[in-house]
Structure 1
Amino acid sequence: MNVTDVDYRAVFQVLPGPAALLTTDLVYVDVNEALLALAGLTRDHIIGRYLFDVFPQNPDAPDATGMRNLAASLHRVTATAESDIMALQRYDVRQFGRQGVWQERYWSTVNAPVLAPDNSVALLLNRIEEVTEIVKADHKLIDGKRAQILRAELSSRARELQQVNRRLRTAHAREHEVALHLQKAMLPEPRHLSHHDVAVRYRPSVGALSVCGDWYDLVELPGGDRMAVCVGDVVGHGLHAAGVMGQLRSALSAASHVADSPAEALDALGLYARSVEGAESTTAASVFVDRLHRTLAYSSAGHPPPALCRPDGSVVFLDEATDPPLGARIEHVPPPVAHMSYSDGCVLVLYTDGLVERRGEDIDAGLTRLATSLTKHHSLGPDSLADVLLADLVPPRGLTDDTVLVIVRL
């Protein structure tokens, strides 16, 4: 057979891959059977129509670049009269007869010029090799590898987190040990105070370090017949709050030795607190007990009121001399002071807010619980009374704030 006898149109029709002939204006001149099968269309739907009317861009994939890249390649072939092999393209195909239904396709495309006798570009040959199944298989393989890599990374991160948790537990244990030493140093058991039985209790909040900003102090004052009973609460927990607490406790103890009243002692403490970082909003209460005259002088800086339980079980709160927390006033104003007489057998109770305050509850409810328990158990000795008060007032799930409790049998 001579070359002139070859039916090239028949050859074009049986090419195994989709192919089309286009004008330089991108209008279809001819297509082979493979392209018709790919598009699911007949020749009448394609011949004489503009390329991108037959294969428009998927409107649900606005970031797709297949149409733009194909147009650029065909225009480049027209301008240069040279073939162009395109990179792999995603080019979705609209399903014939199903409005709005698109199939995801991947094409490997070669565009070649068909030259006229004068070597100008007469037609464009657009040959497509569909590689959708290969690409999807590769995607599955890649996704599988990505999943393996992700699992490996997650496993590595889990090991790193375990190491961090171990280090945190070690650091927490060390801080806990330091906190215990601080607590013993800053909140020692009270010395025996002449003529009085005393009990103190400290209870940390659930989950907190065993040290916080709550403190107490009992100081024998000059003259031998007076003593000061003090409690305070620094905002916050942990070692920093404990350090601030230690400074303020020492300052109040020193001020109490030279002050004529608890108000003067708290006044000096308030001025000192302004120079201590972290001391803002600290609360404190101080009671001077005069054994000779059987009187109490008291003053409070934003602290819950001390309670006095008389021998008959009646309870009165010392709330007639209350000032804002330390450093809360813009201008310096001397704190108030009030006085009350007492008789032998009375019980003086000072505490921090963790004993009586509960979230979502008015503090008066907590003060009522304290008064009720004192009335019921006032005849007990200080140690037994302290244990009973904690049993009555501490919630079943534990304290949400640290608590100091001081009981003095007058």
Structure 2
Amino acid sequence: MRESGIDYEGVFQALPSAVLLLDPDLVIAEANPAYERVSGRPRDRLVGRHVFDMFPDNPADPAASGTRNLRASLQRVAATGERDSMALQRWDVQVPDRPGVFEERYWSTVNTPVLDQDGKVVLIVHRVEEVTELVRARGQGGGGDRQRLMEADLFTRAGELQEVNERLREAHERERGVALALQRAMLPPPKQIRRHGAAVRYRPAVGALNVCGDWYDLVDLEEGRIAVTVGDVVGHGLEAACVMGQLRSALCAAVPVADGPAEALDALGLYARSVEGAESTTAVLAAIDRKAGTITYSSAGHPPPAVLDPGGAVRFLDAATDPPLGARLEHLPRPQARTHYADGSVLVLYTDGLVERRGEDIYTGLGRLADCLTRHRTLGAEELADALLTDLLPCSGNTDDTALVILRL
């Protein structure tokens, strides 16, 4: 596979570390040449086999624990979607083509998940570094007793490290639980979204705590009109989510009393100056009048909303764009624009994670979005949201947060 001119398959083959790719059932999907060398087994004997069929514990050693420890690590990664670094392991390996003959080996192992766009584990990267020679070298010159003492010291330290890792993992899970509760509390309830016939999607960046600084909101206005907004705070994780919560709440309060989207974003910009971490936040706000068939909008440095016409044409609402919140030293009124739409049109608001890619012009991403909308123009809002994420986000997960709102008008 090639993206941005990089041959990722070539990179995998050239990795100096020994790497297996495992599916969630722990069947070997791929092995690189370095793994073939350290295991003494060719690729065609590895791929398609369960990892523990290929590398069982030494039956002659009742204290052998390599299989148990590795299985626990891999299952933990598959269940949580979190990376796991194992303590140093002694795992005797059967000599190739010599059944029942095992040789003493020592391994340092890291297991890392590969997630799809829905956060589901689709592969596990099992990377090993063999340190057998290092362990043996440290034991030379002191006889068998020194060797045993050295090994005991290594495994004592490894056990201590494993205990620290477990405590860190528990703390991380607690933090993640708090983050998810915070996220749910700050975003619109499902009933409000369904009432407006909207579809929303929220995808944190890979490696985040499943929370991010992107937000979306739908606000009821007078005479049956609604306002829809998306925004993007710089950064990821809890800090960005806390800033997002403050800005979203402030905008939600300003929208019903402001004279249009521009005035509401004006008020939000002034408020953002007092919120640490809110600098350079982008946001776009659109007010929809279904009776008049109009969209009134204003943007603070945000990617332009897209309107998909019933015939399949796509236009971007970019006539009222201004710098991000807090970007100006002097306060100036923000611009506002209005456009008409035909019955059956679709309004799409999103954050930059949907369209921007490193080293690529933003207009390339906007072109992909327009093409995707045209291809899937007959889909309902929910199906269209899924199609956009499937077509536009990398299979391995995005490096930026993504929020998406779709409204059939």
**Which category describes the TM-score, using the shorter chain as reference length?**
0.5 to 0.7
Q: How does 1:294-305 map to 2 (within 5 A)?
A: 294-305=293-304
Give the structure 1 partner of residue 258 of structure 2.
259
CA distance in 1, matches of 2:372, 2:330: 40
Partner of 1:356: 355
Q: Any idea what the Cα deviations from partners look like across 1:361-400, whole Å, max 9, x if unmatched?
A: 1111111111001011112111111111111111121111
Aligned residues: 270
Question: In structure 1, what is the equivalent of residue 345 of structure 2?
Answer: 346
Q: Deviations over 1:106-127 (max 9, x none)?
A: xxxxxxxxxxxxxxxxxxxxxx
**Unmatched tracts of structure 1, length 5 or more:** 1-139
Partner of residue 393, structure 2? 394
| Residue matched to 1:188 | 188
Q: Which moved more, 1:232-241 or 1:148-157?
A: 148-157
Taking structure 2 as the reference length, the TM-score comes to 0.62
User: What CA distance in whole angstroms lies between the structure 2 residues aligned with 1:144 and 1:195?
Assistant: 75
- Call closer, same or farther: CA 1:292–1:143 in 2, change over 3 Å: same
Quote how far apart the aligned CAs of 1:141 are. 6.7
Q: What are the residue-to-residue correspondences of 1:191-206 with 2, within 5 Å? A: 191-192=191-192, 196-206=196-206
Contact map agreement 2:188 2:217 (CA 8 A) in 1: no
Name the counterpart of 1:219.
219
Quick check: which has more Rg, 1 or 2? 1
Which amino acid counterpart does residue 260 of structure 1 have in structure 2? D
The CA deviation at 1:157 is 3.8
Alpha-carbon distance, 1:316 to partner: 0.5
Deviation at 1:159, TM superposition (A): 2.9
Which letter does structure 2 place at the counterpart of 1:198?
A: A
**TM-score normalized by the length of structure 1:** 0.62
1:171 is matched with which residue? 171
Give me the whole-angstrom Cα distance separating, in 2, the residues matched to 1:370 and 1:194. Answer: 24
Contact residue 193 and residue 199 of structure 2 kept, 8 A: no
Map Cα deviations across residues 17-74 of structure 1 (whole Å, 9 max, x no partner): xxxxxxxxxxxxxxxxxxxxxxxxxxxxxxxxxxxxxxxxxxxxxxxxxxxxxxxxxx
Instruction: Give the aligned CA root-mean-square deviation in angstroms.
Output: 2.3
In structure 1, what residue type is equivalent to 2:353? G
Q: After alignment, is 250-259 or 206-215 more displaced? A: 206-215
- For residues 160 and 276 of structure 1, the distance between their equivalents in structure 2, rounded to whole angstroms, comes to 42
Deviation at 1:164, TM superposition (A): 1.9
Quickly say closer, same or farther: Cα 1:176–1:194, change in 2 above 3 A. closer
Structure 2 equivalent of residue 368 of structure 1: 367
8 Å Cα contact 1:189/1:200 also seen in 2? no
How far is 1:226 from its partner? 1.6
Following the alignment from structure 1 to structure 2, what is the Cα–Cα distance between the partners of residues 193 and 398?
A: 25
CA contact (8 A) 2:272 2:279 kept: yes
Residue 343 of structure 1: SS of its match in structure 2? coil
Q: 1:258 aligns to what SS in structure 2? A: coil
Q: CA deviation at 1:170?
A: 0.4
Q: Give yes or no for contact 1:196–1:409 (8 Å, CA) kept in 2.
A: no
**Corresponding residue for residue 37 of structure 1:** none
Q: 5+ unaligned residues in a row in structure 2: which ranges?
A: 1-139
Q: Secondary structure at the match of 1:259?
A: coil
| Identity %, equivalent residues | 67
CA contact (8 A) 2:213 2:235 kept: yes
Q: Please state if 1:327 is matched with 2:329.
A: no
AA in 1 matched with 2:397? G
SS in 1 for 2:331: coil
Partner of 1:243: 242
Q: Quick check: 1:190–1:200 contact (8 Å CA) kept in 2?
A: no
Q: Report Cα offsets for 1:306-325 as digits up to 9, x if no partner.
A: 10111111000111111111
1:311 and 1:236 mapped to 2: Cα distance? 37
Secondary structure in 1 matching 2:335: coil
- For residues 382 and 279 of structure 1, the distance between their equivalents in structure 2, rounded to whole angstroms, comes to 31
Kept in 1: contact 2:188–2:218 (CA 8 A): no
Rounded to whole Å, the distance in 1 between the matches of 2:195 and 2:387 is 23
Determine the C-alpha separation between the residues in 2 that align with 1:194 and 1:182: 21
Partner SS state of residue 331, structure 1? coil
Q: Which residue of 1 aligns with 2:44?
A: none
Shift of 1:188: 3.3
SS at match of 1:228: strand
In the aligned structure 2, how far is the partner of 1:146 from the partner of 1:235?
55
| 1:331–1:148 Cα change, 3 Å | farther
Contact 1:190 1:198 in 2 (8 A): no
